[in-house]
Amino acid sequence: MNARKFLQIKFLVGTLCVGTIVTMALAGQFLTPHDPEEQNLIASLQPPFDFAEGYIFGTDQLGRDIFARMVSGARVSLMIAGSVVMISGVAGVLIGTTSGFFGGWRDVALQKVVETFWAFPPILLAIAIVSLFGQNLPNLIIALTIQRWIPYARLTRAQALTLRSRDFVLASMIMGGGTAWILRRHIIPNVVASAVVVATFSMATAIIAEASLSFLGLGVPPGTATWGAMLADGRSYITRAWWLAVFPGLGIFVTVIGLNLLGDWLRDLFDPKADLNLV
């Protein structure tokens, strides 16, 4: 299998996985008449693929539609992961380019901040923040963002250190280009491609982290369907109602594997040293 074909396979499979989850999040409510929080104890623990009653993925112990809750969980996971990636990406790129381009005491001070945050285990730090400040959506996003800007900062700092000595940057300085203009015109555009690759992988880890916190009961507030909370509910019924845990687990798996494949595809695509015939 040549490199070009393998690159296409990763793109197609990754796009199919992510596209399926995004489509379910956007249009899944049109495939079920049930509300994700609607309880029907008479229909509790109904097996999946009951199309007569509209229970595509079955029901849980309270008679709630698993598919409707999967749709709600997909929206929550994608919204939280997207917010985390956006905030951490912008912050990390700005900090990294500033550190690498200016150097000196700014670089030393910012790297000390990076080392301080990097010293804490991510999941334990997130648990501490949510436990200390309360269980709500803004605090959850802050808890997941608090360390995820560091990979962007480290990568863009290394690239900025190299770019600041390149001929086109030096020529801009000689011609009177201001610092802000050089950063906006030459430095940041050249680090964005690498940041996008990091963002793809970071979104996958953010989804896993959100599901982990929800599984522990520290995610979004109770009453909101999430994949992690569904896994936590389903573990007590795994021997007699496997669908309670299998379907949210599949949702997490498909989303994460799709994002990782797309990240690999982007990394190969943007790698100038890759021996790929993309013409």
Low-confidence stretches of the chain (pLDDT < 70) are: 1-7, 271-279
Per the structure, the count of domains in the chain is 1
Query: According to the model, what pLDDT value does residue 275 have?
Result: 47
Q: Is residue 250 part of a domain?
A: yes
Question: What tokens does 32 get?
Answer: 């079920």
Question: What tokens does 189 get?
Answer: 């555009």
Whether 155 and 191 have beta carbons less than 8 Å apart is answered as: yes
**Measured between alpha carbons, how far is 87 from 98 in angstroms, rounded to an integer?**
17
Query: According to the model, what pLDDT value does residue 54 have?
Result: 77
Q: Is residue 49 part of a domain?
A: yes
Question: What tokens does 233 get?
Answer: 């509910």
Q: Is residue 275 part of a domain?
A: no
**Measured between alpha carbons, how far is 91 from 149 in angstroms, rounded to an integer?**
6
**Measured between alpha carbons, how far is 158 from 101 in angstroms, rounded to an integer?**
9
Q: Fill in the DSSP letter of residue 149.
A: T
Q: Is residue 278 part of a domain?
A: no
- Residue 161: name the closest of 200, 238, 107 by CA: 107
Q: Is residue 279 part of a domain?
A: no
Domain of residue 82: give its range. 3-270
Between the CA atoms of 248, 121, 112 and 205, what dihedral angle is there, to the nearest 10 degrees?
Answer: -20
Q: Fill in the DSSP letter of residue 55.
A: B
Q: Is residue 276 part of a domain?
A: no
Q: Is residue 277 part of a domain?
A: no
Query: According to the model, what pLDDT value does residue 257 have?
Result: 95
pLDDT tens digits, residue range 224-260?
888 998 999 888 888 888 999 999 999 999 999 999 9
**Measured between alpha carbons, how far is 244 from 278 in angstroms, rounded to an integer?**
44
End-to-end Cα spacing for the chain? 17
- Residue 225: name the closest of 45, 61, 71 by CA: 71
CATH of the domain at 56: 1.10.3720.10
Q: Fill in the DSSP letter of residue 28.
A: G
pLDDT tens digits, residue range 163-193?
887 877 778 777 777 778 888 888 888 888 8
